[in-house]
A and B are shown apart, each in its own frame.
Chain A
Amino acid sequence: MSEQAVIAVTDLVKRYGEVEAVRGIDLEVKPGEIFGFLGPNGAGKSTTINILCTLVEMTSGSARVAGFDVAREPDAVRGRIGLVFQDPSLDSQLTARENLEFHAFIYDVPAASRKQRIDEVLEMVELTDRADSIVMTYSGGMRRRLEIARGMLHTPEVLFLDEPTIGLDPQTRRHIWGYLADLPKQHGVTIFMTTHYMDEAEYCDRIAIIDHGKIQAVGTPDELKAMVGGDVVTVVTADNEAALPTIAAMAGSEPIRDNGSLRVEVPDAAAFVPRLVRDAGVEVTSVQFRRPSLDDVFLKLTGRAIRDEEAGSKDMMRMMGRAWGGRR
């Protein structure tokens, strides 16, 4: 473990009976970083974050958070981390301020600074004017902001967020990110978060791509995109199977079949596309090219796309859960 790491994980394994949810993860997170854990549902993201938060016991391996061993000193870890869970965890019958007071009490925020600290975090997420409203009257985005404020209330060293924007609309998601992105600089906190939204991963300083319980790659978004090796060209032809060998020869790599189209990486798309249209041998019905995205990185590493639709039904259930929770 390096001297610098706030989170250091070595060969982490979690087995549920026969199922291996996490199969040997190593990672290090530096102070002040926004570290993203990116992967599809069921990849082992939540299990890993739950282990680091001391909610779930690991099967083997070791993990240190904020300088303490997760397995041996869970209480020391708990006092130094803030948590924003995937599912809502506010008491919707209390006001925002009451929720924060509850938190301040169980996290040992000194009585002298309690009120001031609560005001500060409320202001941070712009909920000051709604502080004394019952949480039941809050929108989904406001609840999330309140949970972020709560997670920061006891000035944690690491803030863990498990799918912090799941089930929220894109505008609200951007709004939430407006707060999160500022936290490390303004409050010196390290952020460890999971997401399956590719666009959100772009906000992270570094990303680990996880699939089937293993880390497939770690790096900055740019480093990961560089792995794709150039521009991404998506081609639809009259006969994809017939065109495939030609395209493979021209591009120097095997195209990936994706949803009725062929996707191939080339160093310079602007030069490649005219040649393709001329030499493909079959009619080219559409061509698109763009700079690589994290989606392409994931596709390259795992051979399949990670898509937001995957989470569709789960998101829907969560949203229903929220609505129902609000009516409690």
Chain B
Amino acid sequence: MTTSDRVATQAPGLARPERRGWLWPTLRAIYIIWYRDILRFWRDRMRLLGSLAQPLLFLIVFGTGLGSALGGGGAGFGGSDLNYTQFIFPGIIGMSILFSAIFGAMSIVWDREFGFLKEVLVAPIDRSAVAIGKALGGATQAMVQGLILLILAPVVGVKLTVVSVVLVICFSFLLAFALSSLGVLIASRMKSMQGFQVVMNFLMMPIFFLSGSLFPLQGLPDWMTVLTRIDPASYGMDPLRRVMLDGAGMPAAALDRLSLTIGDYVLPIWLEGVVLLLFGVVVLGLAVRNFRRRD
């Protein structure tokens, strides 16, 4: 069959454009896959409100309760005038990001279950676009969910500055990207919702508890120190806490005693950002490889 035969079978005036390389169609596909997630997220605003309940519960009940047990909920946490609620506030933002990033990315499993994924997988696009678009979509949603909690900062008593807010946004995104990439990787191998509970209990909960969102990661037993340093979320919780408390005027020496360390070395926040980014890219690369396989 010749090219002219093929064109002749099409509706008039709608000749197919030549493919414009690989990059442009892939970027366009990433955009629309991301956009669909955002559209659905926006359309489901009630869920957004509902999802605030859990972090609020943690912050108020857990923060107050455990804070009182630790020392009257008063001043002195980590050798400063910081109370426990203020300490876990950045951790709760991180928690919100963690859960919604992984869940958001795992909506791929829903798409598979309800057939929509097929529409994407048969399209003439590079399948890397599916993984990247979903990871970015999940990351954006998670970032928004985390940042909404910043409105509670005055209630908790954490002072925000322009610089600390900008840095919190950056690290929220990096943390969200790393974890939603992980979510995409899990979803790329998961054929049904059956395994969801397993992922929840054996992956998300450990990541959350070991991330330093609820307690400082210094002075722990060796085995736990190792696990907390393997946990990718640790590299997001720590910079979130440090930039927020630094902005709130906490002395650097006190801050160092709460920070993530390797040995005695206090990791600079930029390095933590690099760790998150690398983790996200590598994990997403593995997800892309899974998506490119055909049955």
| Interface residues in chain A, defined as those with a beta carbon under 8 Å from any beta carbon in chain B | 3-6, 31-32, 53-57, 66-67, 74-76, 78-80, 83, 85, 87-94, 98, 101-103, 105-108, 110, 113, 117, 150, 155, 157, 187-190, 325, 328
Contacts and interface: CB of A to CB of B under 8 A. Distances in A.
B295 A93 contact: no
Contact of B114 (A67, A92, A106, A108): A92
B14 A85 contact: no
Interface of B: 1, 5-6, 8-11, 14, 16-17, 19, 25, 28-29, 31-33, 36, 39-40, 43-44, 110, 114-116, 118-125, 129, 294-295
Contact of B36 (A78, A83, A91, A107): A91
A89 to B, nearest CB: 4
B118 A106 contact: no
A120 to B, nearest CB: 9
B9 A190 contact: yes
A92 B123 CA distance: 19
Contacts of B119: 89-90, 102-103, 150
A110 B11 CA distance: 15
Nearest to B12: A188
A188 B123 contact: no
A157 B32 contact: no
11 contacts: A55-B294, A66-B6, A85-B115, A89-B114, A90-B119, A103-B119, A106-B28, A106-B29, A106-B123, A188-B9, A190-B9
A210 B131 CA distance: 37
Contacts of A94: 36, 39-40
A83 B122 contact: yes
Given A55-B122, A106-B125, A107-B123, A93 B28 contact: no
Contact of B116 (A67, A91, A187, A188): A91
B173 to A, nearest CB: 24
A78 B119 CA distance: 11
A90 B40 CA distance: 13
B32 A105 contact: yes
Contact of A55 (B16, B31, B39, B121): B121
A155 B114 contact: no
Report whether over half of chain A's contact residues are helix, strand or loop; otherwise say mixed: loop
A28 B27 CA distance: 37
Most buried by A among B6, B9, B14, B32: B9
Contacts of A108: 17, 19, 25, 28, 124
Given A93-B40, A105-B28, A31 B123 contact: no
B32 A57 contact: no
The 7 residue pairs across chains A and B that have the minimum distance between CB atoms? A79-B124, A89-B115, A105-B32, A78-B124, A106-B123, A188-B9, A67-B1
Nearest to B113: A325
A78 B122 contact: yes
A209 B105 CA distance: 43
Contacts of B36: 91, 94, 98, 102
A189 B123 contact: no
Contacts of A3: 1
A155 B29 contact: no
A66 B25 CA distance: 21
Nearest to A105: B32
Contacts of B114: 88-89, 92, 325, 328
Contacts of A92: 114
Contacts of A66: 1, 6
Contacts of B32: 101-102, 105-106
B9 A75 contact: no
A113 B125 CA distance: 20
Nearest to B8: A188
Given A67-B1, A155-B16, A106 B294 contact: no
B120 A188 contact: no
Contacts of A31: 5, 9
A189 B122 contact: no
Contacts of B294: 54-57, 74
Contact of A67 (B6, B17, B25, B295): B6
Given A56-B294, A93-B40, A155-B14, A105 B31 contact: yes
Contact of B295 (A5, A56, A190, A328): A56
Contacts of B40: 91, 93-94
B10 A157 contact: yes
A94 B129 CA distance: 20
